Structure 1
Amino acid sequence: MKMALPRPVLKRPGLLAWLGLLLLLVSPTAGAAEIRRVVSPGGIEAWLIADDAVPVVSVAFGFEGGTALDPAGREGLARLASTMLDEGAADLDSAAFQQRLADLGIDLGFDAGPDDFTGRLGMLAEHAEAAADLLALALTRPRFDAEPLERMRRQLLINIDSAIRSPGTVAGRVLRRQLFGDDPYARPEDGFRAVIERLGPDDLRAFVADRFTRDRLFVAAAGDIDPDRLGRWLDRAFGGLPEKGPLAGLGDALVNATGTLQVVERDIPQARIVFAQPGPQRDDPDFFAAYIVNYVLGGGGFSSRLMNELREKRGLTYGISTDLATMERAGLFTGGFETGNATVAETLSILRREWQRMAEAGPDEAELQAAKDYLLGYYPRNLTTTARAAGTLLGIQMAGLGIDYIERRQEEIAAVTLADARRVAGKWLDPARLSIVVAGRPQGLDAAPRTDLPQ
């Protein structure tokens, strides 16, 4: 769901720019990349695209369980932890740890989303083992010293305050509350100011002990490293983690399927509108047909129906887009746009009309083929750099899609027929199930209930 709050700022801007250029160099073999399953001597699995064209290695790794697993009263803990793991470990304080990364040209970072806690590592091949040692320290012996903790806390509080002042972000949070009620998906990923202000080192240590276990670990690598070396590297980086932890998962989220329209009053000239309705999850057999339907409806940029109706024909918005958002415990059709307060009612009427038209008739043959051509053509670009390749492989792993997914994806998209797309459009799309939140002073919506975030 594309409603995440801003990520913490980068800590070493510019210092690793030269490494970044190497990591982003296009690999000449990416188009025919072989994905290998590597299992370390200690039993840790990774997927690898080996390519020695450029002497760099990118590693992406993740642990199941993200911000949605933050306990009540500690919302934002995962996000705070993601800012602290490279702020000192073992006998290296924050300055020493950061200096060590810079000296070796190692790019290390962490992030927390609703369903996972992920990290990235980029380095010259010659420094791969040193990078593994630093990563191992960050995951198993983080310091959580007072000075960096307060610095990262301040940055997170700035993000929280900024989000509350953003009409679009507030609309997104109200929409999530409407869709998910009391489910953790409704909470802001950065947490709440009052909670972040009181989280301390003990909370962070408990987070590390509970979350970073090998049974929830996924790893992908790309670049100048062979399977044998990667196997040893995996044990060096992750071998010190506990085998299992006490943390339990969550059941499927219950998505509110009753459409609503709510207004968050803000004095802004352009209203921000976000909307969503239930959609298929990633493992649903309807997924690829729904993926194509979404592309035709609003996911295809200037070629989409909604863009054509709202921008090209009527000039009601600069742009509108939709997405088929698949989370671990829910699926949604989502979207958003901006328009003048005076044209909100008209624009929403056209949105609902086009939603209904797609539900009733689906795409036509030309739309289906154009969507398939694009969706088949763009995906291999995800493998054209070591960083993108590692990240793509990690995403495939964590979604449980299988090591043959890249080839199978192309086959399954190509196999979607017009009848499939029309059946799925009729099954899933329903304007009566659209939940809509408008932030602004919209005209013509006087009957819509007013709402806001709790203070």
Structure 2
Amino acid sequence: MRRRLLSITLGLMTALIIAATSTHAEIGRPIALPDFQRQSLLNGMEIFAFAGNQERVPFQLVVVNGAAFDPAGKWGLTYLTTRLMVETGKDRSGQSLQTGLKAIGGELTYKVEWDGIWFQGSAPANRLTDTLNIVGQMIVQPQFEEESFAAIRDQVIAELQKKAGEPQFATHERFLAELFDGNPYGHLVRGNPTTLRNIVLGDVRLQYRKLFIPNQAHLAYYHTGNQEAVFNGLTRRWGSWVKGNPLPFAFRKAQPSGENQIVLLDRTLDQSVARWGALSVARGDKNAYALLILEQYLTLSLPGWAGQVAGASQVRASVSVETRTMPGFVAMNLQTPPPQVAGYLKKFIDTLSEIQQGQIDKQRFEEAKRLAFMEVRSSLENPDGLLRQLLETSLYNLGVNYILNFGVRIDRFTPELFQTATKEHFSGNNLVIVVAGPAESLQSQLSGFGKVRLLN
């Protein structure tokens, strides 16, 4: 789960605490999901269907293969393949599939992640089957042509070159590279200009055949009519998708380095941009719940840190946790004047140490549990969020019970279990720290936490 950088204030925290308190009685009870039908095509594609009464109905499809399968030296291949499928597909008459989709009121976006490829959209309720079949033509019968391939590849390269100078982008890219050293998660999903230039059209066609197979695909949608009619209307297009052999997910897991890795990007900035954190756990790990609580606990700590470090009531910062098929990360993102960077880093390390020693603020801990529960529950209250949560249980092989029992499992986490999990996975001497800002004022500050590598 990734968060945008937010200004965290004491007033906002108070509002969140009040809202969270109202859910206290609900946490220990199973979450109820709307009824849905679950069916599969003969080629193995799985379908989840929810009855609704909306004028527009949402849909989502996930393919359980992602950018982690990009070949070495050709990072960005899965993203490029997906973008070509969506943006350059044509029907038999040569008309753009995107144009045909818009003509019937359909909408479609896509997102390539390390573990999966997502397609999300909506359609007028009476054109759901038509919309899904156009999306099906994009995915089942893609057209990869040299001219469009070269144009899209050059466009992606230009987009990356434009972002390269942005401090947020640069710190994120370097953070991943340092943290996941040698693991596929250490590369941007879009790759970089060098790796993209290594890709040829034959690579795209081969990657499509490897990753896009129906027995690795899960489709979920809302409908307003008869589900059997919708299902039957999809079988011809989607049923022609040829079943294949899934690739084994056999990658070397990233390992902690054993000491702080500190990288300073020398930039002339009034506001330094910093990102630091450590490896987390896999999505299915029992301690993943503890990390969701930790995310909220640290977020609730931010206003207090702002008061102690800067004498302010707010800080432009966020805490994020990502758990994936392999261990992801826990990270703090910060934008602050250069003299304050070390102060916030010390508060982060000290707070982790306090938790590991059992010095846990009990009220903050209970609030963090409730907020972790609220985040999942609120996502289930809108159709798009519900479809995403359900499909993630397939992506990560968790089972629907993961959603049903989420609150129960969060509620069972005690301060002692929280302490144990934090101690097991985190150390203030095993962080990846990346900061962009003026070296003359930052290098000496950061050297107190370990050896600093200065990059221009």
**Does 1:73 pair with 2:70?**
no
Aligned to 1:27: none
Give distance in 1, aligned partners of 2:432 and 2:141: 45
Aligned to 1:208: 208
Aligned to 2:420: 423
Aligned to 1:294: 295
Partner secondary structure for residue 165 of structure 1: coil
* Mapping of residues 305-344 of structure 1, within 5 Å: 305-310=301-306, 314-315=310-311, 318-344=315-341
* Mapping of residues 220-299 of structure 1, within 5 Å: 220-245=220-245, 247-258=247-258, 259-298=260-299
Shift of 1:423: 2.5
Change over 3 Å in CA distance of 1:161–1:419 after alignment to 2: same
Partner secondary structure for residue 181 of structure 1: coil
Give distance in 2, aligned partners of 1:226 and 1:412: 36
Is the Cα–Cα contact under 8 Å of residues 265 and 454 in structure 2 kept in the other structure? Answer: yes
Shift of 1:351: 2.4
Is the Cα–Cα contact under 8 Å of residues 109 and 121 in structure 1 kept in the other structure? Answer: yes
**Does 1:445 pair with 2:443?**
yes
Shift of 1:42: 5.5
TM-score by length of 2: 0.84
Alignment-mate amino acid for residue 320 of structure 1: A
Alignment-mate amino acid for residue 289 of structure 1: A
Q: Spell out structure 1 runs of 4+ moving beyond 6 A.
A: none
Aligned to 1:54: 54
Partner secondary structure for residue 190 of structure 2: coil
Aligned to 1:354: 351
Give distance in 2, aligned partners of 1:280 and 1:197: 33
Q: Mean alpha-carbon deviation: is it higher for 137-146 or for 64-73? A: 137-146
Give distance in 1, aligned partners of 2:111 and 2:354: 39
Is the Cα–Cα contact under 8 Å of residues 3 and 319 in structure 2 kept in the other structure? Answer: no
Partner secondary structure for residue 318 of structure 1: strand
Change over 3 Å in CA distance of 1:436–1:3 after alignment to 2: farther
Give distance in 2, aligned partners of 1:191 and 1:444: 29
Aligned to 2:170: 170
Unaligned runs of 5+ in 1: 5-29, 299-303
* Mapping of residues 9-88 of structure 1, within 5 Å: 33-40=34-41, 43-51=44-52, 53-86=53-86, 87-88=88-89
Give distance in 1, aligned partners of 2:225 and 2:387: 13
Aligned to 1:23: none
Q: State which of 399, 402, 417 in structure 2 corresponds to 1:402.
A: 399
Give distance in 1, aligned partners of 2:129 and 2:37: 20
**Does 1:153 pair with 2:150?**
no
Unaligned runs of 5+ in 2: 5-30
Shift of 1:273: 0.8
Give distance in 2, aligned partners of 1:35 and 1:313: 51
Q: State which of 358, 378, 391 in structure 1 corresponds to 2:388.
A: 391
**Does 1:123 pair with 2:123?**
yes
Partner secondary structure for residue 433 of structure 1: coil
Is the Cα–Cα contact under 8 Å of residues 58 and 221 in structure 1 kept in the other structure? Answer: yes
How many percent identity over aligned positions?
Answer: 18
Aligned to 2:20: none
Change over 3 Å in CA distance of 1:187–1:377 after alignment to 2: closer
Aligned to 2:17: none
Q: Mean alpha-carbon deviation: is it higher for 429-438 or for 382-391? A: 382-391
Give distance in 2, aligned partners of 1:178 and 1:79: 22
Aligned to 1:22: none
Q: Deviations over 1:123-175 (max 9, x none)?
A: 12221222232122211222234554344334312321123111222122222
Q: Mean alpha-carbon deviation: is it higher for 171-180 or for 151-160? A: 151-160
Give distance in 1, aligned partners of 2:187 and 2:45: 33
Give distance in 2, aligned partners of 1:110 and 1:377: 26
Partner secondary structure for residue 380 of structure 1: helix
Change over 3 Å in CA distance of 1:42–1:424 after alignment to 2: closer
Shift of 1:103: 0.9
Partner secondary structure for residue 35 of structure 2: coil
Aligned to 1:379: 376
Alignment-mate amino acid for residue 270 of structure 1: Q
Shift of 1:412: 1.0
Shift of 1:416: 1.9
Is the Cα–Cα contact under 8 Å of residues 84 and 152 in structure 1 kept in the other structure? Answer: yes
Aligned to 1:199: 199
Shift of 1:362: 4.9
TM-score by length of 1: 0.84
Q: How many residues are aligned here?
A: 421
Q: Deviations over 1:313-339 (max 9, x none)?
A: 634773222222102111322111012
* Mapping of residues 89-104 of structure 1, within 5 Å: 89-93=90-94, 96-104=96-104
Change over 3 Å in CA distance of 1:290–1:96 after alignment to 2: closer
